[in-house]
Amino acid sequence: MPWIMVDIEADGPIPSDYSMIALGAIVVEPALDRCFTAKLRPIAERFVPAALAVSGFSREQTLAFPDPAQTMDAFVRWLAGLGGTPRFVSDNNGFDWQFVNWYLHHFVGNNPFGHSSTNLGSLYKGLVRDTGASFKHLRRTAHTHDPLDDARGNAEAMLALPGLGLKLRFDR
């Protein structure tokens, strides 16, 4: 049952009123070579220019991105090909999860991750017993706001946690 590190970029704060415009996911394992990345055409008329600017794309560029229904179907097929029940983990699961969960239910009809997600930052804070601690120094890949780069860096950080004493289970 693989851990899947996920990162998204969006043009606003919530799904449906705003749009997920990019998705990156990577299996948390030493090779870091099983990954998924996609761009998604906006589903909403509204967007927050400052939020969109973080992604580096213009509104005009995003309007030419692929259909989100096809993208989410491809994501589900990629997840199914991994075997087992995937587990969702991200740096900011409150944000990333809401978009991925909504898009999966809306466009595919179900969420292969189930009803749960894990926050990497909270996992690290508990491990080091410090609610003010940050795991970000454990990333090797630069945080560029390309969702695959960001998912890769976060997966690298998660893979460093067993060296700090975390028993990272891949069997359930």
Respond yes or no: is residue 105 known to be catalytic.
Answer: no
Catalytic residue among 105, 115, 143, 145: 145
How many helices, marked H, and strands, marked E, lie in the chain? Answer: 6, 5
In sequence order, which residues have a C-beta less than 8 Å from that of residue 85 and are 6 or more positions away? 1, 112, 113, 114
Rounded Cα distance between 87 and 103, Å, is 17
Cβ pair 108, 76 in contact under 8 A: yes
Q: Could you tell me which residues are beta bridge partners of residue 90?
A: 119
Active centre residues (catalytic): 145
